[in-house]
Structure formats: structure tokens, C-alpha cells
């Protein structure tokens, strides 16, 4: 008897009903590697700024697959040939494109598993699943690696106008309540086409693109690069830095076994099935456990960082047009040293500066427009609007962080 899907549709707060296109894709979703994404926060520590931002990579991956289904439907309606194997591969690639994210997504990349990007880990997971699913992900992997002869398929996965961005902007806007990011993904997908196996946007969709790029810039400055979120992520990274320092100095620290396994390894062995399985057991829960296990640690730095993150007692953060002077930074460090009797090294965990940059539209990977005359041109050569050119400029802000110190004046 043919086995049927136990669950053929999912109810998503953004798109409504999402259909699962095949039994095998349903099995991929049910696999422990993919189910782990339910325990990986999509937006890292942004929930400390926007309380509703608790959605996960699981939500995002399913949303991307839904948009890919819409894109395939639109392109086929315009005469673009996509056979059943290519369709299946596109769904699998977009579904698994973020499966390699670690705890709190980008916040701890390179901190727990050293020297390996989440893209490489995603590829490792896809290759492992390909063996388990008897080679049925071979074409998906080829597309993911950019080795397939039809470039538009990778562009649907990863480009300046891909299904990944179309979902996360709309989804993150919904869960944070930041209305500026609410793009019209349906309209954008309806404007897609393919010419010479390259993804293009029909000219009548230019203003939808402008809205999309503007929304992306606003979401970066209001949400992804929010100063409080930046400070919180820095504290989490500092927590792991201190954890490793104490561990290597033979000072007892409380650690979940899964985290201890990775911080004691010099390199992640990409060829090791065991290493991959150990990584697949890591999620946000392990990080929360590590924080909770060290709230009473004898080390001031580790103890304070744990409490600050768990209880949202975050640093004071200021954005500036230029870096803060060394004199001003040192004065904050000295003040902190005196107030808590710390060494300069200990105080440096709580006083620091940095810079964040963002470009809404990179000219190096242009969006291509299918003009009304049938020619394909780069976006900036089609439009005369100054607003598009402004979006290509690199915007940057300097910041510095310090505790809310007592005023001794």
C-alpha cells in the first residue's frame, strides 16, 4: 500500500496555508536535522529589542519553499521550461539552504564551531541527507553549489532578489511589528522572468523593487543592526570568549556536553559524520543552559555576562559618525575598574567600540530588468531615479558600549 503524507498542508501566519509538494519533501521536513531548526531563533537576540521576534529558522525555511512554489508557477506560466526534476531540486535546495545555522543564527557563527560558515555546514547536511535519501538531492546540491548550467535556479536561491530575502523581510517585519519591512512578495514574484537562463524582472516591476530595497535598508537599521541588538550579540560572543579562556586556564566552568565537545576541538572535521551529528544536537537551548549554569560563577566577568543576558541588563550603546577617542574609551574602562575592582582585561569585556556597515543594493551583483522593448539591462541603467543610486551607497555607523556607571562627579 502506498504511504500517504500524514500532513499535506501547514498553516503559516504570513501566507496562510503552505502545501508540502511531495512525500519525500515531507520526509525531509520530518528529519531530525530539519526539525532542529524549530529550536534555532531566526533573529538571534533581537527578541531583547522586539519581544515578538521569537520565530525560528523552521518557519523561515517553510516560507521560502512556499515562495519558491509560487515562483515556479509564475515562470512556467510565462513559458520558462522547468522540468519535474528541476522543480523538485529547487524546493529541496531552498528548504535546506539554512539548515547549517547554529544556535542564535548569525550571533554565534564561528564562536562555537570555529572556521566553518553556516553555508558550508548547510552543504554538509545536504550531502549527508543525500546519502540517506539514495542520491535524490544530487541536483539540489549542484544548484546550491552554483554548478548547474541554468544560473537562474541559483539566483532564485541566492541573489539580491531571491526567495530567502523575500521571506525573511516579510516574516521579520511581521514578528517584530516593524511595518516598514512589509514588502509585497507576491507582486515581486509575479514580475519575475527568465531570459537566456538568467533571472530578470519585468520593467513594470521597477517600483516594487525600489520598495523592496528601501524596506531592506530600513529593516537593517531599525532591526538587524539595532544598537541594543548589536550590544547584546557582542555580550553573548564575549560570554563564549570568557568561557573558553577560563576552560583553557583549567578553571572550572559549567558547560553542557554538546558545547564542551566543540570548544575543546581545534577544527570541525567536515568529513566526520560524528562531528556533523554532534552539531545537529546543538541549538539555542544549549546556550541558555550555559548561561543559566554560570549565573553564580566565581569569575566576575562570566557571572556578570550571564546575568546581563538572561535578565536583559544590557550595556548603554551610542551610535556615532566617527569612532570614539581612545581617551574617552579608556576613561570608561578606568571608571569601571575602580567601581568594581577589575583588571583592565576584565573591564574590556564591558567597554568596547565597533562599526556596522550596510549596502541595500550591491552593484557587483546587479538586478537585471527586462525592458518593454525586450532588451535586458542592469537596473541602474534603466531607471533615472536618484533614489536607486542612493541605495548603492555604503552606510556605516560607529558605536561604543559601556555599562551604566555610577556618576562619581
Q: What pTM does this model have?
A: 0.93
pLDDT at 46: 96
Query: How much is the pLDDT for 218?
Result: 93
386 Cβ neighbours under 8 A, 6+ residues apart: none
Element (H, E) at 287: helix 284-293
Whether residue 165 contacts residue 188, with contact meaning beta carbons closer than 8 Å, is answered with no
Q: What percent of the chain has pLDDT over 70?
A: 96
Q: Which three cell numbers stand for residue 43?
A: 533573529
DSSP state of 403: -
- Beta pairing, strands 368-370 & 198-202: parallel
Largest CA distance in the chain: 81
pLDDT of residue 79: 97
Q: Which residue has the cell 552554483?
A: 146
- Chain centroid to CA 35: how far? 17
Among residues 365, 390, 391, 360, which one has the least CA distance to residue 378?
365
- Burial annotation 366-378 (CB, 10 A radius, 16+ → b, else e): bbbbbeeeeeebe
Give me the pLDDT at residue 6, please.
57
Determine which helix (DSSP H) or strand (DSSP E) holds 88, and give its type and residue range: helix 84-96
Residues 6 or more apart in contact with residue 271 via CB below 8 angstroms: none
Q: Are strands 368-370 and 9-12 parallel, antiparallel or unpaired?
A: unpaired
What does the angle CA 76 – CA 59 – CA 71 come to, to the nearest 5 degrees?
10
In the predicted model, is pLDDT for residue 383 greater than 90? Answer: no
Summarize the confidence of residues 108-122 as an average pLDDT.
87
pLDDT at 1: 40
* Distance between start and end Cα atoms, the chain: 81
Amino acid at each position: 500500500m502506498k504511504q500517504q503524507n500524514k500532513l499535506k498542508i501547514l498553516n503559516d501566519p504570513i501566507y496562510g496555508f503552505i502545501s508540502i509538494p511531495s512525500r519525500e519533501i515531507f520526509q525531509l521536513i520530518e528529519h531530525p536535522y530539519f526539525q532542529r531548526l524549530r529550536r534555532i531563533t531566526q533573529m538571534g537576540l533581537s527578541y531583547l529589542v522586539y519581544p515578538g521576534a521569537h520565530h525560528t529558522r523552521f518557519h523561515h525555511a517553510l516560507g521560502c519553499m512556499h515562495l519558491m512554489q509560487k515562483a515556479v508557477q509564475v515562470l512556467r506560466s510565462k513559458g520558462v521550461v522547468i522540468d519535474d526534476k528541476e522543480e523538485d531540486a529547487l524546493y529541496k535546495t531552498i528548504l535546506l539552504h539554512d539548515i547549517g545555522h547554529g544556535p542564535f543564527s548569525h550571533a554565534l557563527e564561528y564562536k562555537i564551531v570555529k572556521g566553518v560558515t553556516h553555508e558550508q555546514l548547510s552543504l554538509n547536511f545536504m550531502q549527508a541527507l543525500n546519502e540517506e535519501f539514495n542520491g535524490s538531492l544530487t541536483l539540489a546540491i549542484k544548484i546550491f553549489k552554483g554548478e548547474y548550467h541554468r544560473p537562474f535556479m541559483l539566483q532564485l536561491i541566492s541573489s539580491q532578489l531571491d526567495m530567502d530575502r523575500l521571506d525573511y523581510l516579510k516574516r521579520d517585519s511581521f514578528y517584530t511589528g516593524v511595518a516598514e519591512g512589509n514588502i509585497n512578495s507576491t507582486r515581486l514574484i509575479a514580475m519575475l522572468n527568465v531570459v537566456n537562463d538568467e533571472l530578470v524582472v519585468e520593467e513594470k516591476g521597477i517600483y516594487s523593487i525600489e520598495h523592496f530595497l528601501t524596506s531592506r535598508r530600513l529593516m537593517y537599521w531599525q532591526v538587524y543592526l539595532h544598537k541594543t541588538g548589536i550590544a547584546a550579540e557582542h555580550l553573548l560572543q564575549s560570554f563564549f570568549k570568557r568561557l573558553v579562556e577560563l576552560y583553557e586556564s583549567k578553571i572550572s566552568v559549567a558547560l553542557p556536553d554538546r558545547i564542551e565537545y566543540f570548544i575543546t576541538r581545534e577544527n570541525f572535521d567536515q568529513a566526520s559524520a560524528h562531528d556533523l551529528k554532534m552539531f545537529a544536537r546543538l541549538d539555542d537551548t544549549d546556550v541558555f543552559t550555559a548561561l543559566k549554569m554560570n549565573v553564580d560563577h566565581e569569575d566576575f566577568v562570566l557571572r556578570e555576562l550571564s546575568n546581563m543576558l538572561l535578565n536583559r541588563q544590557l550595556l548603554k550603546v551610542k551610535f556615532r559618525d566617527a569612532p570614539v577617542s581612545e581617551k574617552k574609551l579608556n576613561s570608561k574602562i578606568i571608571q569601571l575598574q575602580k567601581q568594581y575592582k577589575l583588571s583592565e582585561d576584565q573591564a574590556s569585556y564591558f567597554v568596547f567600540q565597533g562599526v556596522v556597515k550596510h549596502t541595500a543594493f550591491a552593484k557587483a551583483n546587479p538586478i537585471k530588468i527586462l525592458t518593454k522593448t525586450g532588451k535586458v539591462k542592469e537596473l541602474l541603467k534603466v531607471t533615472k531615479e536618484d533614489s536607486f543610486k542612493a541605495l548603492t551607497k555604503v552606510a556605516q555607523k560607529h558605536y561604543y558600549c559601556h555599562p551604566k556607571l555610577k556618576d562619581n562627579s
